[in-house]
Structure 1
């Protein structure tokens, strides 16, 4: 065999090894969701790849037979082609024995480097970048090789199955998609620019509905605008003017005895018809949905769907009213800063190192804005005020402060034991506790 023919054979072996490397990594890295999308768009090859993924044993057996056979042949051909030529070249400077040894070592290094770079590293990196596109291209040739080498594939596959059963190794890949998988994909999409950061945040907020409790989105007790059942017409009109809302709880004596709610549009219709406003009218007061304060936002949404309401009163374990929540409150939690500009911001950035935060701000929002991974005993509270109470082990007073996660949380204003404003100031390099 001439030198040219030997070099062409070596190049063909490198290409064959590259093909098997691509076939191996492309199948392993292909995402089933992406393949399903390709199949739905009419690419029948994607269906074949998914079927191979369901039982990839024979496929990988062919890959390993090819990789090892090509590697052995490549070593033989490379040593036979390059070693004599390099040995003769080294004879100009070295004795015959050392030149032969040096030619062998150099040929081994060159062939090995050639296979590592061109048949392993480069093909595998490309396969990791676009696995689905390559997997559908190599599927047909690999299926042909599987049929051609069926006896050898069957023998190796049976031996592999026996060994895996003896070693109790997993034999199938789990295809279950978890919320963490989806969030990881959206984060990767946001980092690459394929998904806007705000869109990624909305998706993350949707999954948080199952973990965030209703107090993180409700209007707290002291901010509730409500009517008493025996409020006269002038009082009702004045309350609507001073505190315009779409829905008002109706109470009997005090806020802890809610008997229903009244819709502002019903009141406006009576005003337009010059009818007196009286909450004694049972047709005006609707039955109110009462939910416990331990429900998650997802559970509240389910309650809204079941009863066909978009307003609920929140009570604690002592049957005391702690707040109210509306469908709009839950949607505002999901949409974050995409909601309309009239939405009151609870976290205001003063400069690069400090934020002014409302005490009732959900602790999840505080962590997100400040970039905190975790806080102490998070399951014991829902708001920033709760965090400060847990840290101080008492009701905070003005000027009290807590340092955590590289931030100092200082109480700026307290109103009747309620923490109104907290100043969060970075006191350590970002990301350092």
Structure 2
């Protein structure tokens, strides 16, 4: 082969390598949603690109075959041609004949490698990543034709690779997944927020939406001890007294044995026009949901029933708590306060990374308020529950426990010992921690 044909082969093979590299990266990076929209609008190239992405694993195998063959041909054809070109120059520099051959071959390998890497690998890769949809549409027709030609060879190689993996105890995946899990979405949101691409408020809203589907009724309900209930036999005057005292507009109604018989409230009172008689006369059927039902299902049941309150029932059939539409909304957008609600009291920050936190806050709410991720468990949901679980007994005021903090969330100073936090009971309510002091454990304290 002449020298010029060798150089021509180098650039043609490099272009072929670049074609396969761009093909590989563009179809992997292309947004299928964008391609579907364009295909729906009548874009034939987008339709062809979707045909390729529907067989992404097969396309990648074909691209790898093309890259491998063209790279081998560069070494076989182009590098000797380059060596022939540089050999006279090396001889003119007075190098011994024994060195000229080795240096010329090495130079040929170096030049071919640089050309292959820059023009055949890196530039097409960056183009495919920067303009994935445009490149995918441009290459789609030729890619389909190429796969039709080399398909039998690709299937043969794929079968061999699949058999090898199965012998090693690994089950191959036929196609590349394009969807993402909630965990991956959460990581994307966190990374986008850190990079400044998402406003913090929007990031929090998206995180709450992701967490919404993972929670159940028991996790967000107002627990039974904090629910004002009425007995079916109580007079309506007692209901009026309860409204004046607590300001709630809806109340679960219980039978004498504690079973839920319904709900009542301002709407039922006004509709009846009654001021006397038992509460049972203005009680309507209650929407009952098990404690384990996921929040999206609770929301759907409330929508279908056209009800704004649901009674949460535990596994023994008793009232575990209540959920309102407002509670569900707060899981998505944060605390909502109307004119009848007391001013919400959240975590209070003190110097030195010390916090005073309501024991009723869930651990995810504690993390959101303080930045401290405390250990979670199926045995408890709230900060008070964590303290009770670690103490193993009913607490007294001043009791404290030391718990680990997730290192990647620890906002404490550098002198904190092994990411530990001390939880101290400040006050009790109904024998459980009402307020808890959250403080870092520092070196001196840990050493004692």
Normalising by structure 2, what TM-score?
A: 0.78
Distance 2:265 2:432 in 1: 29
Where does residue 436 of structure 2 map in the other structure? 422
Q: Does 1:387 pair with 2:401? A: no
Q: Does 1:262 pair with 2:261? A: no
Distance 2:304 2:391 in 1: 41
Residue 269 of structure 1, CA deviation: 6.5
Q: Which moved more, 1:309-318 or 1:367-376?
A: 367-376
- Partner secondary structure for residue 295 of structure 1: coil
Q: Does 1:295 pair with 2:293? A: yes
Where does residue 50 of structure 1 map in the other structure? 50
Q: State how 1:167-206 maps to structure 2 within 5 Å.
A: 167=164, 168=166, 169-174=172-177, 178-187=181-190, 189-191=192-194, 193-206=196-209
Residue 232 of structure 1, CA deviation: 5.3
Distance 1:29 1:206 in 2: 26
Match of 2:225 among 193, 197, 222: 222
Match of 1:244 among 244, 247, 272: 247
Distance 1:5 1:361 in 2: 76
CA spacing shift, 1:236–1:190, aligned 2, 3 Å: same
Q: Is the 8 A contact 2:223 2:321 kept in 1?
A: yes
Q: Is the 8 A contact 1:247 1:261 kept in 2?
A: yes
Q: Is the 8 A contact 1:279 1:285 kept in 2?
A: no
Residue 164 of structure 1, CA deviation: 4.3
Residue 373 of structure 1, CA deviation: 6.1
Cα RMSD of the aligned pairs, angstroms, is 3.6
Distance 1:211 1:348 in 2: 28
Where does residue 157 of structure 1 map in the other structure? 154
**CA deviation map 1:168-198 (0-9, x unaligned):** 4443345666444544554455455554443
Residue 417 of structure 1, CA deviation: 0.5
Q: Is the 8 A contact 1:189 1:195 kept in 2?
A: yes
Q: State how 1:4-23 maps to structure 2 within 5 Å.
A: 10-23=10-23
**CA deviation map 1:363-418 (0-9, x unaligned):** 23234555566725x11112111111111111222222222213222221112302
CA spacing shift, 1:119–1:306, aligned 2, 3 Å: same
Q: Is the 8 A contact 2:28 2:56 kept in 1?
A: no
Q: Which moved more, 1:219-228 or 1:405-414?
A: 219-228
CA spacing shift, 1:305–1:138, aligned 2, 3 Å: same
Residue 59 of structure 1, CA deviation: 4.1
Distance 1:279 1:259 in 2: 17
**CA deviation map 1:9-29 (0-9, x unaligned):** 644443332221111222234
**CA deviation map 1:216-239 (0-9, x unaligned):** 322233332344456556654443
Match of 1:408 among 422, 426, 439: 422
- Partner secondary structure for residue 379 of structure 1: coil
CA spacing shift, 1:399–1:250, aligned 2, 3 Å: same
Q: State how 1:322-341 maps to structure 2 within 5 Å.
A: 322-336=320-334, 339=336
Q: Is the 8 A contact 1:315 1:323 kept in 2?
A: yes
- Partner secondary structure for residue 323 of structure 2: strand
CA spacing shift, 1:119–1:425, aligned 2, 3 Å: farther
CA spacing shift, 1:80–1:365, aligned 2, 3 Å: same
Q: Is the 8 A contact 2:7 2:81 kept in 1?
A: no
Distance 2:59 2:222 in 1: 59
Distance 2:161 2:237 in 1: 82
Normalising by structure 1, what TM-score?
A: 0.80
Residue ranges of structure 2 left out of the alignment (5+ in a row) = 167-171, 406-418, 444-448
- Partner secondary structure for residue 201 of structure 1: helix
Distance 1:77 1:363 in 2: 64
Distance 2:368 2:163 in 1: 48
Where does residue 213 of structure 1 map in the other structure? 216
Q: Is the 8 A contact 2:186 2:207 kept in 1?
A: yes
**CA deviation map 1:77-101 (0-9, x unaligned):** 2441355326514742632332332
- Partner secondary structure for residue 109 of structure 2: helix
CA spacing shift, 1:93–1:243, aligned 2, 3 Å: farther
- Partner secondary structure for residue 259 of structure 1: strand
Residue 295 of structure 1, CA deviation: 3.5
CA spacing shift, 1:154–1:416, aligned 2, 3 Å: closer
Residue 268 of structure 1, CA deviation: 5.4
Q: Is the 8 A contact 1:87 1:100 kept in 2?
A: no
